[in-house]
Amino acid sequence: MTDDLRRLIPECVFLNAVIIDCAVKTDAFAECQTSLLKKVGYRNPDGYHYKNPAFLAGFLYCLIVVPHETWDLPKDHDIYQQLESKELLSLFEIKIRDKKYPDSPMYGLIYHLRNAVAHAHFSIDQSQAFTFWDKLPLKEAPLNWQVWISNPNLMTFLNGVAHVFLPNDPLRR
């Protein structure tokens, strides 16, 4: 169905992030955030950072899990070539490498990242770095893939992925 608004989610989540990047720098945003956090009794309104793990997890879900039609494309599709050329894979520290995709590492990364995010197979440490893992569907199966990525590198990765959804994007890096 071509009029399915779900297909706009990857584009919109990126645009929302860009808008927030601009808004966060304004006094009005700071006042609104502080006022709201105090109103709901947040324990440390002055220490709240908008680009926290919840923001990144939502961004990740909207770019990697939701647009399944995009990520179901063949391993040699242009979208994976575009991502390969951005060297986004180097942002991750690969802890356990799956030997299934040696000829298409970006396809393998997206494949396993989609599974990890969709099944909540990730953890976030005190530095807000993410560890993602995947395993075969068997209940007692061992991990067959695991990566670690810092918070800033995850943001860089997400921005790089988002740009493939916006072919006429003037912000394209």
| Torsion sign across C-alpha atoms 171, 6, 81, 58 | positive
Please name the amino acid found at residue 36: L
Given this model, what pLDDT does residue 172 score? Answer: 45
Q: Which residues of the chain have pLDDT under 70?
A: 1-3, 167-173
Given this model, what pLDDT does residue 91 score? Answer: 97
Given this model, what pLDDT does residue 164 score? Answer: 80
